[in-house]
Amino acid sequence: MKIIVSVKQVPDTSGKVAVNPDGTLDRASMQAIINPDDLNAVEAALKLKDETGCKVIVVTMGPPPAAGMLRELMARGADEGILVSAREFGGSDTYATSQILAAAISRIGVEKDDIVMCGRQAIDGDTAQVGPQIAEKLHLPQVTYAAEIQKTGDTITVKRMLEDGYMTIKVKTPCLLTCIKELNAPRYMSVGGIFEAYSKPLQTFDYETLKDDALIDPTTIGLKGSPTNILTSFTPPQKGAGLMLNEGDDKANCEKLAGILAKKHII
């Protein structure tokens, strides 16, 4: 049994998000981190590894420095890393990205008792589409928003979070799960793990490696293969100075406040 976890390196958007004069994200000014939900997915895989001794493979699509992130995941306990990296893959939207990742995952091979895991969504694009699209392209059943995962034989029981509750779903392997932060608290790297990380196998899948896959076609990958295009991006306007509502009585102020909030679609 093996678990393949798809992970993404993202700019840390928890602090200040900087935008270049041309409207693109100023990635250089932000620290590159492992997408938080993906870290929960890796932790879920490592927990299953602790229980079953299975193998954990981490896969990422990105520029060569993303290999550093794969090493960090190996220092946490992942066994192998695959970096999917080629100029041809750049500029992909979620359709093209999932096309390429699905090809990479099928090249690794998804067998009967395997699991593919993803984070719910990445904090830079915020779409939450890549996981489900990979499942579709690999013809795997999917369970999204996993907040609890239990494995008994070839059956995975997932507590799937909804806005106002949860549902319990049973799914047979092979399957794809997308994970949320409620699932677990990711472990730290360990000192021993760090000293071992660089001796673990890390492969690069470039365009040559994947080009013969049925999913890979110049019209399905990269900027050209992306049905959607970003026309423009901009920084949301800054909020102006605060407005004090202190004319008239409390009731009038409250009505005025509710009116303003409703107009801005906040309530």
Partner 1 sequence: MDFHLSNEQLMLRKMYREFAENEVKPLAEEIDEEERFPMETVEKMAKLGMMGIYFPKEYGGAGGDVLAYAMCVEELAKVCGTTAVIVSAHTSLCCAPIFEHGTEEQKMKYLPDLCSGKKIGAFGLTEPGAGTDASGQQTTAVLEGDHYVLNGSKCFITNGNVADTFVVFAMTDKKAGNHGISAFIVERDFPGFTQGKHEKKMGIRGSSTCDLIFEDCIVPKENLLGKEGKGFKIAMQTLDGGRIGIASQALGLGEGAIDEAIKYTKERVQFGKRLSQFQNTQFQLADMHCRMQAAQYLVYAAACKKQLHEDYSMDAAMAKLFAAEAASDVTRRAVQLFGGYGYTREYPVERMMRDAKITEIYEGTSEVQRMVISSHLGVK
- Nearest approach, Cβ of 46 to partner 1 (angstroms)? 13
- Nearest approach, Cβ of 78 to partner 1 (angstroms)? 14
Structure tokens at 125: 């694009």
- Nearest approach, Cβ of 80 to partner 1 (angstroms)? 18
Kindly tell me which of 168 and 195 has the beta carbon lying closer to partner 1.
Answer: 195
Alpha carbons 68 and 90: distance in angstroms, whole number: 19
- Nearest approach, Cβ of 193 to partner 1 (angstroms)? 8
Kindly tell me which of 147 and 194 has the beta carbon lying closer to partner 1.
Answer: 194
Binding site for partner 1 (CB under 8 A): 68, 71-72, 75, 188-198
Kindly tell me which of 199 and 235 has the beta carbon lying closer to partner 1.
Answer: 199
- Nearest approach, Cβ of 199 to partner 1 (angstroms)? 11
Kindly tell me which of 171 and 197 has the beta carbon lying closer to partner 1.
Answer: 197
Kindly tell me which of 188 and 234 has the beta carbon lying closer to partner 1.
Answer: 188
